[in-house]
Structure 1
Amino acid sequence: MIDQSDNSEPRVLATEAALAFLDKIRADHPDILFHQSGGCCDGSSPMCYPVSEYRVGETDVKLGEIGGVPFYISGSQFEVWKHTQLIIDVVDGRGGMFSLDNGRERRFLTRSRLFSGGEACPVPMVKT
């Protein structure tokens, strides 16, 4: 696993609405993580899983934490989004099929903005 969470500018943030929704999910599932979906069936939604039910891959990149919950993305997707800050929000609708937000009539949504200048180091750094 590659860790990008130590950079000065956060690579992932959450809105107040997303943090409040996250607290509701954690009431039922206290030990969780996020993984940014790469597409296919659930589009590119941030997926929320119990830690015990998701295996973080060797090439996954840890972008940081939101509300104390670790947030990962695949290494190949990080290469595409490495110049981008992810902003996790919540909107009405159904969550991803296997995500813990499913069935709650609200879902997490990824918004983004490009980093400017030297805000974040685009080169992955392995944390030992």
Structure 2
Amino acid sequence: MIAIKRLDATEEALAVIDMISKEHGDLMFYQAGGCCEGTQPQCFEKGGFFPRTNDACIGTINGFEFWVDRDLFEYWKYAHFTLDVLDGFGPGGFSLETPYGKTFKVHYRLFTEEELQHLEPVRRND
């Protein structure tokens, strides 16, 4: 059986990612567990943010890593993430889509019992 992905993106999000990567090069995503940036996914130039010890890389979008805060991942490890983008400004404004009047958002759904048995492994930051 094929491993079940933990992460996907909408066509709209992929179009914004393509636009940003043409300007900034390689990217990375990080979804924190709160504080000033909330739980909204942030997009940075690759290396522009350093995941903490034991944060989880749940997959890639167009080859760009998507990291999740270690505590947030423990809460959402049974859920599939779909990255989307909306018009507007999210909290914080540190993310690279902000100057375009866009903000990334994640839609969640719980994995089925069968999917849980075949999930792609996560990679932890050592």
Superposed pair shares fold, TM > 0.5: yes
1:1-128 aligned within 5 A: 8-95=3-90, 96-120=92-116, 121=119
Superposed CA RMSD:
2.4
Structure having the higher helix fraction is 2
- How far residue 123 of structure 1 moved from its aligned partner, in angstroms, is 8.3
Change in CA separation of 1:93 and 1:82 when aligned onto 2, cut-off 3 Å = same
Aligned residues: 122
* Structure 1 gaps, min length 5: 1-6
- How far residue 34 of structure 1 moved from its aligned partner, in angstroms, is 0.3
Q: TM-score, normalised by structure 1?
A: 0.84
* Structure 2 gaps, min length 5: none
Change in CA separation of 1:110 and 1:98 when aligned onto 2, cut-off 3 Å = same
Identical counterparts, % of pairs: 36
Change in CA separation of 1:24 and 1:115 when aligned onto 2, cut-off 3 Å = same
Q: TM-score, normalised by structure 2?
A: 0.85
Once residues 61 and 120 of structure 2 are traced to their aligned partners in structure 1, the CA distance between those partners, rounded to angstroms, is 20
- How far residue 24 of structure 1 moved from its aligned partner, in angstroms, is 0.5
